[in-house]
Chain A
Amino acid sequence: MTNMTTETRFAQSGRESMENTAAEGYNFAYLDEQTKRMIRRGLLKAVAIPGFQVPFGGREMPLPYGWGTGGMQVTAAILAPEDILKVIDQGADDTTNAVSIRAFFERTARVATTTRSGEATIIQTRHRIPETPLKRDQMMVFQVPIPEPLRFIEPSETETATLHALGDYGVMHVKLYEDIVAHGHIATCYAYPVEVNDRYMMDPSPIPRFDNPKLHMSPALMLFGAGREKRLYALPPYTRVVSIDFEDYPFEAQRQDGVCAICGSANTYLDELIVDDRGTRHYVCSDTDYCQEHAGQQGIRA
């Protein structure tokens, strides 16, 4: 694991080198103001109807679909010059996708960025919700690959729209039933469907089901953007979010078999590493920021 910078880094410092390069000729945060307005209108509607998928006119972004274009458009639309941005991919701040998206907004919006969950005002993510509890003044932005939770069983968009409109969600349990048939337990471990505000079925994007309980009654605003499918949805703060289940197979967040090899945490989501060619396994926190902080508190150098 690399020794990462943990201080909040202001793009100001790199301004000289960028002044006349990438950001030149681009609007603040890349998208033009009318596009950002259009996305914000969509987001307002999404917040007003928790869990409902709002179509929006998704733009081409300078990176391929599947790399976070939906999340980036949402971030661009809500970003203000005084915001502090954190971007994570698989919980880590130092993976390619996270580094690229962070650099993108450093260059096009010149906003401050950070790796500290507690300091960020906007956290863009693909797979995780940080272990550090979120606060009221924070916003989560999720990059969503497939926004439609009913898609696996119903390929038709008109039909899924009708099922949502009528609240006809019986087929969702068919998926869980099949899991139990095949595996003896509910084996869906990411994108685990949730019912929002006792109304809409929602795909919480590919977060592990370990993170599902963090959606429920979260004090932070959560915004979801799907770039390829051009859909927005949202969880306003303090929304009821229930992971669907069976009476005799209740929802259970994943339990981990080990503790973090770096910081010793036993209650975080862990990545499994195979460290030699005899199959020795180590576990480390997937949330790098939390891991460093926790290690620091115990005087361990991560």
Chain B
Amino acid sequence: MNPALNPTPLADETAASTLPLLRVNQLTRLFGHEKGCQDISFDLYPGEVLGLVGESGSGKSTLLSLLSGRTPPDRGSVQYRADHANWLDIYEAGEARRRQLLRTEWGFVEQNPRDGLRMSVSAGANIGERLMAQGARHYGQLRETAIHWLQQVEIDASRVDDPPRAFSGGMQQRLQIARNLVSKPRLVFMDEPTGGLDVSVQARILDLLRSLVRELDLAVILVTHDLAVARLLADRLLVMRRSRVVESGLTDQILDDPQHPYTQLLVSSVLQA
């Protein structure tokens, strides 16, 4: 983020937004030769959307689970700025703290909503679960919050008591997004959030995500193999191939003027509609 773009910044706001939210250093986890990811380093800033693109098996999802505290790395570190200037190394912090982060300041949107939702309980309970885990003990307020978030993701409030299995695929994905955003996270991980959906539903979810990201000033790390999704949502891209980042930069710059031969291949292989 360039502070010069903001004409009248408050002194401490500038300081906060110029500090990264996440610092990733030499992150490595290998399951075999060039299987997994290695030597990944980058900084993520508040409100920034970072896309991870690359072919199947290039290590995108491995990297995402390392970043989100789900799989410990072989080496390297992930540091998260929990508050103003205190850095937290998420793999030194212990499981209790990691889990607490994942259900408060972080969110994780799975590709398949069935993995991220509790399919047997109502939509309202799905949205309220994070709040209950944080100690919310007032049914009326939980239900009101659930209805508010259903409306935020464009699901009719009357569906609050229906189980997610009664929802269409696109609605399930939107419900999963609401379930994650209810705790007002600062950082959301998304693994192919529009992966299994048809094109018109994809467009609607992308539109929704784009406005929510702006509105809530979310930082997002987004895994996708779809360059159109990356173009629409991501500010910056990391292109992965065979466990390494081969190119990184601003999205438009990478997509319009790819430098690495693999990125050139990737961009040129997109069908022009």
Contacts and interface: CB of A to CB of B under 8 A. Distances in A.
B137 A173 contact: yes
B137 A181 contact: no
Contact of B121 (A168, A170, A174): A174
Nearest to B124: A181
Contacts of A249: 139
A246 B124 CA distance: 15
B122 A246 contact: no
Contacts of A177: 121-122, 124-125, 128, 132, 139, 142
Interface size class of A (residues with CB under 8 A): 10 to 19
Interface size class of B (residues with CB under 8 A): 20 to 34
Interface string B8-21: 00000000000000
A168 B125 contact: no
Contacts of A248: 138-140
Given A153-B118, A168-B133, A171-B133, A181 B161 contact: yes
Nearest to A180: B139
B95 interface: yes
Contact of A246 (B96, B125, B137, B161): B137
A166 B98 CA distance: 11
B96 A170 contact: no
A173 B141 CA distance: 14
B30 to A, nearest CB: 25
Contact of B138 (A153, A168, A246): A246
A281 to B, nearest CB: 32
Contacts of A181: 122, 124-125, 161
Nearest to A152: B120
A114 to B, nearest CB: 43
B125 A170 contact: no
Given A153-B118, A162-B95, A181-B161, A174 B129 contact: yes
A174 B134 contact: no
Contacts of B138: 246-248
Contacts of B236: none
B244 interface: no
Contacts of B95: 162, 166
A69 B99 CA distance: 37
Contact of A170 (B120, B122, B132, B140): B132
Contacts of A170: 103, 129-130, 132-134
Given A170-B130, A170-B133, A174-B128, A246 B121 contact: no
A178 interface: yes
Contact of A174 (B96, B118, B161): B118
Contacts of B161: 181
Interface string A158-186: 00001000101111011001101100000
A68 B99 CA distance: 38
A174 B125 contact: yes
Contact of B99 (A153, A168, A171, A180): A168
A41 B11 CA distance: 63
B5 to A, nearest CB: 40
B193 to A, nearest CB: 24
Nearest to B140: A248
Nearest to A166: B96
A23 to B, nearest CB: 49
Interface string A19-54: 000000000000000000000000000000000000
A246 B129 CA distance: 13
Nearest to A176: B139
A173 B132 contact: yes
Contacts of B124: 177, 181
B121 A178 contact: yes
Given A181-B125, A246-B137, 15 more contacts: A166-B99, A170-B129, A170-B132, A170-B133, A170-B134, A171-B132, A174-B118, A174-B121, A177-B124, A177-B128, A178-B125, A180-B139, A181-B122, A181-B161, A246-B139
28 contacts: A153-B118, A166-B96, A168-B96, A170-B130, A170-B132, A170-B133, A171-B132, A171-B133, A174-B118, A174-B121, A174-B125, A177-B121, A177-B122, A177-B124, A177-B128, A177-B132, A177-B139, A177-B142, A178-B122, A180-B139, A181-B125, A246-B137, A246-B138, A246-B139, A247-B137, A247-B139, A248-B139, A249-B139
